[in-house]
Structure 1
Amino acid sequence: MSILRSLYLITGIICFQPLFAQDQSTTDSTQVNYEKRVYTTTSVADREPIKIDGILDDAAWEAVEWTTDYVENQPDIGTAPTEQTKMKIVYDDKNIYFAFRCYQKDPSTIEKRMGRRDDFPGDWVEVNIDSYNDDRTGFSFTVSASGVKGDEFISNNGNNWDSSWNPIWYTDTNIDDEGWTAEIRIPLSQLRFGNDDEQVWGIQSTRRYFNNEERSLWQPIPPSPPGWVSEFGILKGIKGIKPQKQLEIQPYTVAQLDTYEEMPGNPFRDGSDTKLTAGLDAKIGVTNDLTLDLTINPDFGQVDADPGAIALDGFEIFFQERRPFFVENKNVFDFTVGGGADNLFFSRRIGRTPQGYTTADASMGEFEDFPNNTTILGAAKFSGKTKNGWALGLLESVTSKEYAEIKLNTDPEVLENLEQRGMPREELVEPLTNYLVARAQKDFNENNSYVGGIITATNRKLEDNLDFLRESAYTGGIDALHNWKERKYYVTGKFTFSTVKGSPEAIENTQTSLTHLFQRVDADHVSVDPTRTSLTGTGGSFEIGGRSDNGNWRYNTGGNFRSPELELNDIGFLRQADQISQYANIRRIWNKPTSWFRQANIGLNQSSQYDFEGNYNRIQYEIFSYVNWKNNWWSEFGAAHKPRIYSNTVLRGGPRWRWNEENFFYFFSGTDSRKKFNMHAGYVHSEAKQDNFSFKRYVLRFFYQPLNSLNLSLVNEYQQSPNKTQYVTQSSFNGTPRYILGEIDNESLSSTLRVNYNINPNLTIQYYGQPFIFKAKFSNFNYVTDPMAKNLNDRVAWYNGNQISFADGVYNVDEDGDSAVDYSFGNPDFAFVQFRSNLVLRWEYIPGSEIFLVWSQGITGLGDVNNSFGTIIDNQLLSERPQNTFLIKATYRFVL
């Protein structure tokens, strides 16, 4: 839904300004400013309670007048909508109520598509409530004509929409001769507001008219607004309501059965395992503004598996958080460091795969049972926003010690042939760990500015053989944002620091990790100190930007830095330290439709990068654009030129490496998403000079909705990324380092199928399945001679047939031709095969209480790189026995 919001506020297209100049010269040359609309509600506490059935015949609705005159915002901004909408708002001591009349001349054309919660299918109407009245945050409630509910928490003035927020509220709809109607009852306990006797809230309502893919708003907003929440209208008349201290308790129980192929002799792989667990989630309203969320032994069994991915560059792959406890309100704790995924808080560190290892020795008949994840004993999250403008967040979590179990082979014949036997035992692979994150922001200057800060702490109780882990890690930062001239201009900045402590081994591991690489042979500003027991680093960012008077131009410039010593990866995410970046962007937006398109933009970007030694490593120029065509198809295009590309990490501690200059472009396009059948197609092409490397990505996505209750999607991707100088390993020749590279033929293929069957809004069946295959085959091995040479042939030297030979899975190199092996390295070829699937039946039998039936399948293994994709699918996927997981989960939500 957040993508739709972004398109709704600022959409863009491919095309240069002169192409559309004749259509745009008079339609968007000035910015339209709308007065804030005001709706005054009243209490109906002394009337008969409203029955939520979608039929607006309750006497309580007569207490207020309708408000109407919705204004179209998409595609033809500022005009009358094709179909008008009306809204009423009343309240009592415990609830706020909304009524909507959505006119439609031909009710048979109302699109009644079904979907799971937060799917937003077909025709829908929505209300957004800024009950904090802070112009930055809000609560969104959406109901479709078919009765599907959607709810999101809005933050950052509409730049973030968190659909993981699932409050308890009630709604129903009805279709009649005039169109369709909707009723909504929202308990006040699900909102957050101050304790003033008379409340003033921000309010906005949006209607989607499906037939024309049209959005209309109760409170009109100008083209290219400075934000979303700050432009809301005003709700008055709420008097005397008391803060509602929320108390919800949700226990759960899970029964699980795992089946898999039995492995003879392995005591941990006897064919099946069973497990019964229980836990508890709770939500406690400490005050009406601040909420405490608790979880004990949380279960994440029905969460989708991560998509298949392989990184040849050695860096950790970033995966999105999907676990409900950590996803909800995660924006409160976000503190990004420059661009990309780098953040002081990355919740997937909590409950991560254990980082230790065991001494299990297969040659002694030993098998190990290594845990997939670390057990989260409990977690608490305190968050909210006070009437004084303080946004607060505090998260505390404890993960348990994790042990790997080691047992002997159960086959007596195998044990008889072993000279010695190991002993059954448990070995510690992850220590008891405490995680803490504290976040605060304070609004001022009439909500146009804020200052904030964050502190994180990770503390481990190290025992046994875990001294290679850091004992403690602390990070912190301050951030600030200031808007002025009615949010026309802004400036923002951040400063970050980190301190990690541990044994000399742990800190040396930190210094030599791919994130830092202090051992780089040509780096004068960093070096490995094996005696250090701590490391302290800093980071920061700065950006200033604005928009033109008519809102059609957006621009910003800024930069960020990460010192060589900055380390965030205990509870945050940091890909690479030792970096200074600069960027500048400009974008032209067309919000008025023409005879060609509905909305559009085009932008330019320039960026460059340095390290702390002053090396000029990269510069890039990019153009990007997007168009939503008149027929509601869309296209996007982008291209970039990279004349300078140097890397400090390619040779993994070796010298700085130069890539040939690169050019790339991409093009994607899609048909009208409202159609029962629609599709996307895309192509990405990158190529470096001298054919140093290239990248091709093909994407084909299909979406089909044969019934209102059934929709299917199939997303196919194929990638090729050959490279003549892919890093393989390091060796030594007569005391001289050898950085060995190879020409890689790299392909990957994935296909993701999703099927959603919605029996009703509260009873759904979902299926997810994805096979993923990755092949990497090496040839034409070479070694680095001059890593900074402009010409590829001067940068490396290729081994000839007399210098390199292959036998028994090993490449032997006789570099000087004296018939003696100078060094060797293993065969780097590999093929990775994975299949993941999930079939979930979800029944919300009462609001907030659910039953899940889940069947998961998984296959993971290695294939033969010499086989075709078809043969790998047949041999490594279809013929393998998958691991199956069956589970039943039941929750009950007590609202006290």
Structure 2
Amino acid sequence: MAKYFATLLAIVFFQIINAQVSSKSFVVKHTNKPIVLDGVLDETNWEKAQSVTNFHQYFPVDTVMAVQPTEIKMLYDETTLYVAVKGYSEGRDYITQSLQRDFRGGGIDQISLLFDTFNDGTNAFLFGINPFGVRREALISNGGLDRGDFTTSWDVKWKGESKIYDNYFISEIAIPLTSFKFREGETKWRFNSYRLDMQANERSSWIRIPQNQLIFSLAYMGDMVFEKPLGKSRTPLAIIPYVNGIVAKNHEENQQLNNFKVGADAKVAIGNSLNLDLTVNPDFSTVEVDNFITNLTRFEVALPERRQFFVDNNDLFGSFGGTRDANPFFSRRIGIAKDTADNTIENRILGGLRLSGKLNKNLRIGFLNIQTEEDKDNEIASNNNMMIALQQKVFSRSNISAFFINRQAIGAEDFLPEDEIYNRVMGIDYNLASADNSWNGKAYAHKSFQPNDSEGNLSLGVFAIKNTKYLSAFVDVVSIDDDFSSDLGFIRRTDIFKVANGLTGRFWPKKGKINRFESQLFQTITWRPGLDFLYSDYNINFGTTAFFKTLERLEFGLNKRYVYLTDSFDPSGKDDALELPANSAYHFNSFSLGFSSDERRVFSYRIQPSYGEFFNGNRLSVESRFNFRFQPKVEVGLNLQYDNISLPQPYSSADIWLISPRVNITFSKSVFWSTLVQYSNQRDNLGINSRLQWRFAPLSDLFLVYNDNYFVESFMPRSRSINLKFTYWLNI
């Protein structure tokens, strides 16, 4: 095994990494005159600004110039970057989901601006706006390698307005330089912009991007050169206090849970390149709820982080290891604990700090320290949760990263076992990203330490992928010792040696309605080293997809699986079900179909049925999504998943439903009302979350939130709450 790892590491390390080459550039002129954001370019300042034009088409083909022209101009003064966008179109029939900030990018008209302020091809700030003046911002990390590197939960202050004309729209944007991080004296940033024009069914970008790459990839960028060097960013101290009044009742325990919370976050800039985030008694209450998920596997499911405190520079902490199998730091572990009945409950965070950013051109640092509260009734210790991470850039876009994690219990000797007093993990990762993004990969080695347990405890992995227009191939090798443990991580299972590989072929028809055909062969094999390398899991998937130029998608898949159960397991999820016995093997096959309609339409949908064997029985599954827009203020949707599990007697069969209707109403760009209902008989819960939000000032909100939960079988209430929450962003 050691030789296998060494060979793969050598392949990764000795790839020839070419220097990044920018094919386009423009000069950003300095100005001393004010800009009025009204969608009318009548200021004389704009006349001297250079124009960014000649966008390349990304879809439906990537070999021609864009049909609909786009023009961008930029100016800056000592405090602000100003951007003007003029996007030509076939008419005024623009598409938007709603007027609420942070829109999803697909299927609507919009333009996005990407700024790589440290010129490293690794991280970037994204600011987007659509013809209705709706804005969004996002952080791009890890070079924009996959969709998980696009984080829309980041918030920052900036302004933008749009105006629609007969055959074009104009957007004017003002972004405070304090909303970026950059080196003092910087003379250029890397830049790209992409636009979605739904009337022409065209996606385009300033720098040409091949269709086999994501449109927000940071490998493909030009240069924006400042007329004079940028000065020191005079970032104010931001204080974000909150007040939250909660009226709540737990009907299961007949307990009143009324509460009044006060706390605050603070953001302190250290120079131009570092952020210090502080939090005291943070409120991670039910203003926003997680989506229910039907889980028919033996393993835990990871849910995305939504808490603002953990978002900025999150890749510094959360991108170590393998995100699917062995992620040593998963921020949602903090503030969550198990009670004496093994139920998951909130564990209050007392306070914490988080330092992240650049120390110099090539070195990034992340430091996090958070203290949680002791809960003696539930035998939960007060824990200090600490992590430090360093990331050194090498070659054009690759990096070497190292980390140390320490979870230390404090004052819990009466009820906490000795082997749970602390958990420590350290490790090193090499992240490969070639200049043109055709080669990507990772190699990592992590080790954990527990009381009286420091031998072995390793998590090792190597991943490499080659991605071209017509062919992509990858290999992924993971080894996790049985005793490897990361209390602040997401480790799906231990005691595994897994090999995964895949091959994807793409065919691009020159004529007809199909944009491309894509076929993929993917397989994983898992052994259990602690059980004499027991052959425990095998999964092979074959899938083919037709992507239409009109944005429909048709899919077909075949799946063949083998599972050896080392522990008993009940696929139905029923409390009183007889479990399939341990030390038993199962072979089962299935097939699936899927169709997604054109997202540009007022009514769009996706439906994916599948059928096949499931352990010693059969499974029929139907996943569907329906969406209807009353543009631009109302969006109605329904997600539905049905699973029929049919197992022979004496094992349990089940009909599992997950039904999630939702309604989003945007009365204006500052007042939003959303309601989500989630029915899951697997969780025995019907949940209702209705939220009215008034954004009365930039990043300052008043929330009124109603939450209600019922048992499905008896329709008796489980819990109910009403929150009135006030947050205000104050610059000092």
What is the TM-score when the length of structure 1 is the normalising length? 0.73
The 3 A distance-change label for structure 1 pair 375 and 576 is same
Is the Cα contact below 8 Å between 2:86 and 2:169 reproduced in 1? Answer: yes
1:201 matched to 2:189? The reply is yes
1:843 corresponds to 2:694: yes
Residues 590 and 137 (structure 1), Cα distance of their counterparts in 2 relative to 1, 3 Å cut: farther
Q: Deviations over 1:233-276 (max 9, x none)?
A: 11112423223153211111111112565x8xx7x63xx54321
User: Does the alignment pair 1:432 with 2:382?
Assistant: yes
Separation in 2, partners of 1:83, 1:486: 27
Q: Choose from 754, 759, 771 the match for 2:667.
A: 759
Q: How does 1:124-163 map to 2 (within 5 A)?
A: 124-158=110-144, 159=146, 160-163=149-152
User: How many residues matched?
Assistant: 695
Aligned partners of 1:165, 1:135: CA distance in 2, in Å?
A: 19
CA offset digits 1:87-129 (Å, max 9, x no partner) = 101111011111011122433x233552321114732122111
Are 1:635 and 1:668, in contact at CA under 8 Å, matched by a contact in 2?
A: yes
Q: Which residue of 2 aligns with 1:556?
A: 474
Residue equivalent to 2:15: none
- 1:236 equivalent in structure 2: 225
Distance 2:388 2:520 in 1: 37
Letter in 1 for 2:595: S
User: Deviation string for 1:603-640 (max 9, x for gaps)?
Assistant: 11122111212222333322123332133211222212
Structure 1 pair 582/193, CA: closer, same or farther in 2 (3 Å)? same
- Are 1:49 and 2:34 an aligned pair? yes
Q: Within 2, Cα distance between the matches of 1:371 and 1:581?
A: 29
- For the structure 1 residues 318 and 535, does the alpha-carbon distance in structure 2 shift closer, same or farther, using more than 3 Å as the test? farther
Q: After the TM superposition, which residues 216-255 of structure 1 pair with which residues of structure 2 at under 5 Å, given as runs?
A: 216-225=204-213, 228-246=217-235, 247-255=237-245
Tell me the SS of whatever aligns to 2:310: helix
1:442 aligns with 2:366: no
Deviation digits for residues 641-695 of structure 1 (CA, Å, limit 9, x no counterpart) = 23x432333379999623232212222212111111111111122315xx71332
Cα distance in 2, alignment partners of residues 715 and 886 from structure 1: 25
* 1:26-41 correspondence runs (5 A): 36-41=23-28
- Please identify, of 851-860 and 593-602, the stretch whose mean Cα deviation from structure 2 is larger: 593-602
Identity %: 22
Rounded Cα–Cα distance in structure 1 between residues aligned with 2:104 and 2:60: 19
Distance in 2 between residues matched to 1:316 and 1:222, nearest whole Å: 36
1:460 pairs with 2:388: no
Paired position in structure 2 for 1:669: 595
SS at 2:327's partner residue? coil
> What are the superposed Cα offsets for residues 477-524 of structure 1, whole Å, 9 maximum, x if unpaired?
1110335585443443111111112xxxxxxxxxxxxxxxxxxxxxxx
The equivalent residue for 2:576 is none
Task: Rate the CA distance shift 1:282–1:302 in 2: closer, same or farther, 3 A.
Answer: same
Question: Retained in 1: the 8 A contact 2:125–2:140?
Answer: yes
Change (3 A) 1:593 1:211: farther
1:587 positional shift:
1.0
Residues 1:640 and 2:566 are matched in the alignment: no
CA distance 1:887–1:651, change in 2 (3 Å): closer
Partner of 2:91: 106
> Structure 2: which amino acid aligns with 1:893?
W
Pairwise mapping of residues 611-622 of structure 1 onto structure 2 (< 5 A)?
Answer: 611-612=528-529, 613-622=532-541
Superposed, 1:279-318 pairs within 5 Å as 279-308=263-292, 315-318=299-302
C-alpha displacement of 1:296: 1.1
Distance 1:703 1:605, change over 3 A: same
Q: Distance in 2 between the 1:747 and 1:654 partners?
A: 18
Cα contact 2:556–2:592 (8 A) shared by 1 = yes
- Seen in structure 2, the aligned counterparts of structure 1 residues 886 and 225 have a Cα distance that, compared at 3 Å, is closer
Superposed CA offset, 1:683-724 (max 9, x none): 122315xx7133221122210112321001011111122334
Provide the C-alpha distance between the structure 2 equivalents of 1:308 and 1:545, rounded to a whole number of angstroms. Answer: 32
Q: Shift of the alpha carbon at 1:307?
A: 4.0
Q: Check 1:674–1:855 CA distance in 2 against 1; reply closer, same or farther (3 A cut).
A: same
Alpha-carbon separation, structure 2, partners of 1:112 and 1:721: 39
Where structure 1 has 5 or more consecutive residues not aligned to the other structure, the ranges are 1-32, 359-369, 405-427, 502-531, 726-741, 775-831, 864-875
Q: Select which of 363, 374, 398 maps to 2:347.
A: 374
Q: 1:212 aligns with which of 200, 206, 217?
A: 200
Specify whether residues 179 and 398 from structure 1 end up closer, same or farther in structure 2 by C-alpha distance, changes over 3 A only.
same
CA shift in 2, pair 1:456/1:92, >3 Å: same
Q: What residue identity is the alignment partner of 1:432?
A: S
Letter in 1 for 2:457: G
Q: Is the Cα contact below 8 Å between 1:40 and 1:237 reproduced in 2?
A: yes
- Relative distance call for 1:881 and 1:208 in structure 2 (3 A) is same
Q: Distance in 2 between matches of 1:207 and 1:431?
A: 51
CA contact (8 A) 2:419 2:450 kept: no
Instruction: State whether residues 593 and 599 of structure 1, in contact with CA within 8 Å, keep that contact through their aligned partners in structure 2.
Output: no
Alignment partner of 1:192 is 2:181: yes
Contact 2:22 / 2:221 at 8 angstroms: preserved in 1?
A: no
Question: 1:590: how far off?
Answer: 4.1
Partner of 1:795: none
Match of 2:465, SS state, is: strand
Give the alignment partner of residue 65 of structure 2, picking from 66, 80, 85: 80
Q: Deviations over 1:400-435 (max 9, x none)?
A: 11143xxxxxxxxxxxxxxxxxxxxxxx52111100
Q: What SS class does the counterpart of residue 219 from structure 2 fall into? A: helix
Which residue is equivalent to 1:780? Answer: none
**Are residues 249 and 468 of structure 1, via their aligned partners in 2, closer, same or farther at CA, if it must alter by over 3 Å?**
same
Residues 313 and 172 of structure 1, relative CA distance in 2, 3 Å threshold: closer
- 1:572-591 matches, within 5 Å, as 572-590=489-507
**Paired letter, 2:483:** E
Counterpart amino acid of residue 259 in structure 2: K
Question: Which SS does the other structure have where 1:157 is aligned?
Answer: helix
Q: 1:542 aligns with which of 443, 446, 462?
A: 462
CA contact (8 A) 1:38 1:236 kept: yes
- Could you tell me how far apart the structure 2 residues matched to 1:468 and 1:771 are? 41
For 2:637, the aligned partner's letter is: S
For residues 281 and 325 of structure 2, the distance between their equivalents in structure 1, rounded to whole angstroms, comes to: 28
What one-letter code is carried by the residue in structure 1 that aligns with 2:358?
A: K
> How far, CA to CA, are the matches of 2:277 and 2:510 in structure 1?
46
Contact kept, 8 Å, 1:194 with 1:386, in 2: the verdict is no
Equivalent residues in 2 for 1:665-814 (5 A)? Answer: 665-687=591-613, 692-724=616-648, 742-774=650-682
Q: Decide which of 713, 726, 731 is 1:890's aligned counterpart.
A: 726
Which letter does structure 2 place at the counterpart of 1:169? W
- CA distance in structure 2 between the aligned counterparts of 1:773 and 1:577, rounded to whole angstroms: 30
Q: Which amino acid aligns with 1:764?
A: F
Q: Is the 8 A contact 1:476 1:498 kept in 2?
A: yes
Contact 1:75–1:592, Cα closer than 8 Å, also in 2: no
Q: CA deviation at 1:348?
A: 2.0
CA contact (8 A) 2:88 2:169 kept: yes
Shift of 1:178: 4.1
Distance 1:443 1:555 in 2: 25
Report whether the alignment pairs 1:123 with 2:109.
yes
Is 1:581–1:608's contact at 8 Å kept on the other side of the alignment?
A: yes
Please state how far the C-alpha of 1:591 moved relative to its aligned partner: 5.5
Deviation at 1:534, TM superposition (A): 6.3
Does 2:589 correspond to 1:658? no
| Local SS of the residue matching 1:41 | strand
In the TM superposition, 1:227-626 aligns within 5 A as 228-246=217-235, 247-259=237-249, 269=255, 272-308=256-292, 315-338=299-322, 340=324, 342-356=326-340, 372-404=345-377, 429-447=379-397, 449-461=398-410, 462-467=412-417, 470-483=420-433, 486-501=436-451, 536-548=456-468, 551-568=469-486, 570-590=487-507, 594-612=511-529, 613-626=532-545
Query: Which is higher, the Rg of structure 1 or of structure 2?
Result: 1
